[in-house]
A = this chain, B = another copy of it.
Amino acid sequence: MESIESDTDLAGKIEKRISESTIRRLSLYLRALSLLDKKGVKTISSKELASREKLTPAQVRKDLSFFGSFGTRGLGYPVSELRSEIAGILGINRIWKVALFGVGNIGSAMVSYKEFARQGFQIVKLFDNDQRKIGSNHKGIIVSDVSNLEPEIKEAGIEIAIIGVPATVAQYIVDDIVAAGIKAILNFAPINLKVPSDVYLRNENMSMELEYLSFAMVNNHSEKKTKP
């Protein structure tokens, strides 16, 4: 019952499995290109782009080559076009509606984080279980009761959830969210969440980065390359 050519995506563009590293670097390229575009720069070579992100020119070219030929030999890449190509590849040439669960410290920070909106991630719903928070207004959004999430999520057309609730309750919330049909979750709770295989889950683990710094300091660990 396997489909033929199961490694080909719907648009027929991606033939190979793209590595996580490549996708993460696309985010970096996108950020750099947006800045260059704003500055009015018209073209950029793989060499220049690489140097801005502490990568190699070959890496940049290889990453882009998985998706097409966007450059001109002898010249480089057209900044503005490449920017929108990458936005298209990453799927952020559109608005994604996001719901945030847990209006605590991290949650509040996320609501105010301008960078999300700039990338097309629009936080349109806030949920909490604290009666004192429910009904209150955060940056123009009224906090809803988490116990009634399904109709609100469906009505608002939410596709992505950000989990900012404590680790102790995160799994329960996620079970409800998954039941409500959400297919992508960004988790800030320091816990390993269980989700069905058709739900995309990413974990943001801030302690991990500090622990990496600690390890590096204690062991004089010179990095060969900082991964994106």
Residues on A lying within 8 angstroms of B by beta carbon are: 9-10, 14, 17-18, 20, 23-24, 26-28, 30-32, 52-54, 89-92, 96, 98, 104-106, 108-113, 115-116, 119, 121, 159-160, 183-186, 190, 192, 197, 200-224, 226-228
CA distance A32 to B187 in the complex (A): 16
Q: What chain B residues lie within 8 Å of A197 (beta carbons)?
A: 222
CA distance A183 to B28 in the complex (A): 24
CA distance A160 to B8 in the complex (A): 45
For A35, the closest partner residue in chain B by CB is B191
Copies in the complex: 2
Whether B109 pairs with A105 at a CB distance below 8 angstroms is: yes
Whether A113 pairs with B206 at a CB distance below 8 angstroms is: yes
For A214, the closest partner residue in chain B by CB is B91
Q: What chain B residues lie within 8 Å of A96 (beta carbons)?
A: 210, 214
For A225, the closest partner residue in chain B by CB is B20
List the 9 shortest-distance A-B pairs measured between CB atoms, nearest first. A91-B218, A109-B109, A105-B112, A91-B214, A105-B109, A184-B213, A27-B208, A202-B209, A200-B216
For A112, the closest partner residue in chain B by CB is B105
Whether B212 pairs with A202 at a CB distance below 8 angstroms is: yes
Identify which of B14, B24, B208 contacts A219 (C-beta below 8 A): B14
Minimum distance in angstroms from A144 CB to a CB of chain B: 21
CA distance A203 to B17 in the complex (A): 26
For A204, the closest partner residue in chain B by CB is B209
Whether B10 pairs with A220 at a CB distance below 8 angstroms is: yes
Minimum distance in angstroms from A34 CB to a CB of chain B: 10
Q: What chain B residues lie within 8 Å of A91 (beta carbons)?
A: 214-215, 217-219
Identify which of B18, B208, B216 contacts A184 (C-beta below 8 A): B216
11 pairs, A vs B, C-beta closer than 8 Å = A32-B192, A91-B214, A91-B218, A96-B210, A110-B206, A121-B210, A121-B214, A184-B216, A184-B217, A186-B210, A204-B204
- Known interface pairs A18-B221, A184-B217. Does A54 touch B192 (Cβ–Cβ under 8 Å)? yes
CA distance A148 to B132 in the complex (A): 39
